[in-house]
Amino acid sequence: MTEQTGRQIPDRLTSPLSRALKSWEALLLVVAAAIFIANSLASPYFLDPWNLSDATFNFTEKAMIAFAMALLIISGEIDLSVGAIIALASTVMGLAMTAGAGTPVLVALGLGTGLACGAFNGLLVARFGLPSIVVTIGTMSLFRGISYIVLGDSAFTGYPASFGWFGQGYVFWVITVELVIFALAAIVFGVLLHRTNFGRMVYAIGNNATAARFSGIRVERIKFTLFLLTGLMSGIAAICLTSRLGSTRPSIAAGFELEVVTIVVLGGVSILGGSGSIPGVVLAAFVMGLVTFGLGLLNVPGIVMSIIVGALLIAVIALPRLWSMVRR
């Protein structure tokens, strides 16, 4: 940790092809393919298209948030309140639903709550300069706490049938609405990060916020926007999740933040900020989804899967570092 202060410059540049082959994304692709093959050998039910379509629910909601979270982490911040934002947005939708609101109002409220929560986080972090880890640990308690105040140990049920489309509907054959939202989000965030000035600025802030500020980047405004985006994606995820479950409990989406951060880190985004890519996050989402679905088919209980997710999170960061230590 201490001995490596400067950035290392390689003696010899490798060719683009060999770099692509050695990249984190290529490794993820191999892992995803291996898990896919292992799963189809381990269980005869795996290769059924409807099963695979069901399997996507394991990760689509988390991955939607993971795209925005990836940008946030690349910029050097983090948002641990995403699960709580889902809980609050879902509670607000539930309140509106009991008051007789229709689907368009519910969707607007879900998005609005997500944006408001993101703006609140962004205001505290970007405007007042508070550390995002503690701010979002605080808002995590606050947002979910409000859900608990509203709901206690009860639940909202009885969402209108048309609202079920978001989490249970199909666009075409086995392609679910959630999968389409996931794909659209991947494209939008991929373009935003890799093809726009905004994306370059996000990298610049993550690598050196001071230098970014001196080169004229409005660091605070961009960080605020990123929190807003994370809130918005959490709102969308809240709509999908509430629609899929058809009910709201205050414990909804508990522990989502862990899995979202795991997907982002597994996708090759440096937790210290400054590097990472959206294709990596997409592949990581598939890897996570395939692992949990495959284990589910083998009747592995959820909590054992969470051990595997936790170990995966540590291993993907530890192994490259161990490797470079061994080689030195």
Partner 1 sequence: MSILKSREAILGLAILVLLAVVASRFPGFVRPANLANVFTDTSPLILLALGQMVVILTKCIDLSVAANLALCGMIAALMDGAGVPLPAILLVVVALGAALGAVNGLLVWLLGIPSIVVTLGTMTIFRGTIFLLTDGAWINAHQMSDAFKAFPRAIIAGLPVMAWIAVAVIAVFAVLVNRTPLGRAFYAVGGNPHAAVYTGISVGRTQFAAFVIAGALAGLTGYLWVARYAVAYVDIAGGFELDVVAACVIGGIAIAGGSGTVAGCVMGALFLGIIKNALPVVGISPFWQMAISGSAILIAIAFNARSNRAPGRIILKRAEHRT
Residues that bind partner 1 (CB under 8 A): 1-2, 78, 124, 128-131, 133-135, 137-146, 148-149, 151-153, 250, 258, 261-262, 265, 271-272, 301, 303-304, 306-307, 309-311, 313-314, 317-318, 321-322, 325
Q: Minimal distance in Å, beta carbon 127 to partner 1? A: 11
Q: Do 236 and 61 form a contact (C-beta atoms < 8 A)? A: no
For partner 1, which is the closer residue by CB, 78 or 106?
Answer: 78
For partner 1, which is the closer residue by CB, 78 or 97?
Answer: 78
Q: Minimal distance in Å, beta carbon 141 to partner 1? A: 3
Q: Do 132 and 122 form a contact (C-beta atoms < 8 A)? A: no
* Residue 74 CB neighbours (<10 A): 25
For partner 1, which is the closer residue by CB, 181 or 261?
Answer: 261
For partner 1, which is the closer residue by CB, 107 or 316?
Answer: 316
Q: Minimal distance in Å, beta carbon 77 to partner 1? A: 12
For partner 1, which is the closer residue by CB, 34 or 307?
Answer: 307
Q: Do 83 and 207 form a contact (C-beta atoms < 8 A)? A: no
Measured CA to CA in angstroms, residue 209 lies from 76, 204, 268 at distances of 9, 7, 21
For partner 1, which is the closer residue by CB, 96 or 130?
Answer: 130
